[in-house]
Structure 1
């Protein structure tokens, strides 16, 4: 193999390795009409995911129609037979309290905000349910909600 081909092979390996962000699992549930109802349970199946006590994130994709600075989310993790392992209320701050600017990454009027969970999913976690706890029947401006599990 000549030097040019060898260098190209090494470069390809380095570039492909740099493209991964170290996630084990990531999924978003889109919400119809960009409204998250108080009775809408967003369930994430983790049966096939190997969890190894790694950082876990919750994410909200929202737009300019969202009228609050934060979002309270109830996160319920269950094992394979449906026993609740953890039931936690998380306050996800979506806008800077001083400037009012949206937090997270965005394009146009749509933003995605990730935040680390205060607990870790362990090997016995087989499903995660997310519920909105904002005391509103419908939260308008919420496009999707998801979880991300890192290596």
Structure 2
């Protein structure tokens, strides 16, 4: 009996240690075909206002990706779906000198996190992303993720 209770207490402690109190929002969207079509828009709906936060973009990619970097445009939308901010950003995925993949991963799949500098002081309710690589099918992009964290001062 004491063994069961200590096991439950240990499991509860490990569960609570795994919780990230700084994370306000996190979601991932997979690409159905393993590629990002030029006409595809990836949308994340943020459930509550997040005025003071840090936004991270996660890109899961594999060795089929043909370029060194990824250009994408994000659009911040308000509750009426009006664009309040948009910006073209560049995210390096491979080292320019060695050609090694950036980010963490194993095998031929890697995930690269990059901070999105959101300039708007307005609260947004969704963020939309489109690839801007000027190719119809951007092979090797498996998924995109959005993580919003509390700003720590």
Q: TM-score range by the shorter chain?
A: 0.7 to 0.9
Measured after TM superposition, the shift of residue 11 of structure 1 is 9.6
Question: Does the CA-based 8 Å contact 1:50-1:123 persist in structure 2?
Answer: no
- Farther off after superposition, 92-101 or 112-121: 112-121
Q: Secondary structure at the match of 2:40?
A: coil
Structure 1 residue 52, shift from structure 2 partner: 3.0
Aligned in 2, Cα 1:139/1:10: closer, same or farther, shift over 3 Å? closer
**Residues 25, 49 of structure 1: 8 Å contact kept:** no
State the partner residue of 1:86.
85
Q: Which blocks of at least 5 consecutive residues in structure 1 are unaligned?
A: none
2:148 is equivalent to residue 149 of structure 1: yes
Contact 1:51 1:121 (C-alpha < 8 Å) held by counterparts: no
Partner Cα separation in structure 2 for residue 25 and residue 121 of structure 1: 18
Q: How many residues align?
A: 145
* TM-score, structure 1 normalization: 0.85
Map 1:1-151; keep pairs closer than 5 Å.
Answer: 13=13, 15-21=14-20, 22-46=22-46, 48-119=47-118, 124-151=123-150
> Per-residue CA shift, 1:37-67, capped at 9, x if unaligned?
1100111111x23413211011110000001
Per the normalisation by structure 2, the TM-score is 0.84
Aligned CA RMSD, in angstroms, stands at 2.3
- The answer for unaligned runs of 5 or more in structure 2 is none
Structure 1 runs of 4+ with >6 Å offset: none
Instruction: Give per-residue Cα distances to partners, 1:67-126, cap 9 Å, x unaligned.
Output: 101000100011001121110111011011111111111021100101001226766201
Q: Measure, in 1, the Cα distance between the counterparts of 2:119 and 2:53.
A: 6
Q: Distance in 2 between matches of 1:92 and 1:77?
A: 18
